[in-house]
């Protein structure tokens, strides 16, 4: 195993262990060893129905591909590659998931929140400016520049972001989250791109903007 592969594997193991400690804060506790997701079931649950244990194989606990860079050719210059229960059925009910995040030079993962999870992130390559904002009324902004091997945690439900501080080279991070399905609400998309849209009058008053500017912002989404 190469040094790069060893580093990557070690980070995955460490982050998984850390996130397992946080799992009880989000998803319910297990009542059995596992509940591999049955993607063919029509039963509606808070999560996914269990596959018949007699049909479970090692492949149900396996995901391949996190070594591959995501396509960052988009407006934000980033790509999130998720490993949730919907990609790795063995994660169902285990209260943990992970993502790989690729950033183009100067790219960002814009302000967003995970309604069901705390996130712990480590930088694999490059450097990132990261931060999160606390709830009302203080709205404190905690920010830090991270380098290869550095770790930062984003508390559950807080608005947070990452930006590649290098305009000449890409960056890569991996993160663990304390839910099999953490969800994501990108602030700009939710506010200006909701369907149906929020009244421009409401947004104009909320952001102290002219209605014309709000209409322009909504047209971008």
Instruction: Please give the Cα distance from 149 to 127 (Å, whole number).
Output: 10
Query: What gap in Å lies between CA 39 and CA 70, rounded to an integer?
Result: 25
Within its chain, how far is the Cα of 24 from the centroid?
18
Which residues share a beta bridge with 102? 79, 172
SS3 label, residue 158: coil
Contact indicator for 188, 221 with CB cutoff of 8 Å: yes
Is 109 known to sit in a ligand binding site? yes
| H or E stretch at 38 | none
Q: Is 67 annotated as a binding residue?
A: no
Residue 111 neighbours by CB distance under 10 Å: 16
Give the CB-side neighbour count of residue 112, counting CA atoms within 13 A. Answer: 18
Q: Is the dihedral of CA 190, 193, 196, 198 positive or negative?
A: positive
Tell me the torsion sign for CA atoms 161, 16, 83, 10: positive
Q: Does 119 count as an annotated binding residue?
A: yes
141 in a labelled binding site: no
Mark the binding-site residues for Mn(2+), compressed into ranges: 112, 114, 119, 160
Mark the binding-site residues for oxalate, compressed into ranges: 109, 114, 119
Mark the binding-site residues, compressed into ranges: 109, 112, 114, 119, 160
């Amino acid at each position: 195993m190469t040094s790069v592969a060893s580093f990557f594997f070690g980070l995955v193991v460490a982050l998984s262990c850390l996130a397992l400690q946080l799992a009880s804060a989000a998803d319910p506790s297990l009542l059995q060893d596992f509940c591999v997701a049955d993607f063919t079931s029509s039963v509606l649950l808070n999560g996914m129905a269990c596959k018949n244990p007699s049909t479970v194989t090692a492949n149900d606990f396996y995901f391949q591909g996190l070594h591959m860079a995501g396509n960052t050719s988009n407006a934000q210059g980033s790509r999130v590659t998720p490993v949730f229960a919907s990609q790795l059925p063995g994660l169902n009910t285990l209260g943990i998931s992970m993502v790989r995040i690729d950033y183009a030079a100067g790219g960002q993962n814009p302000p967003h929140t995970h309604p069901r999870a705390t996130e712990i992130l480590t930088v694999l390559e490059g450097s990132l400016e990261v931060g999160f904002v606390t709830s009302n009324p203080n709205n404190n902004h905690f920010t830090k520049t991270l380098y290869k091997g550095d770790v930062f945690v984003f508390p559950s439900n807080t608005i947070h972001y990452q930006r590649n501080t290098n305009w000449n080279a890409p960056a890569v991070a991996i993160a663990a989250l304390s839910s099999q399905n953490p969800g994501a609400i990108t602030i700009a998309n939710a506010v200006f791109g909701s369907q149906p849209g929020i009244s421009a009058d409401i947004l104009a008053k909320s952001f102290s903007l002219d209605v014309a500017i709000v209409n322009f912002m909504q047209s971008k989404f």
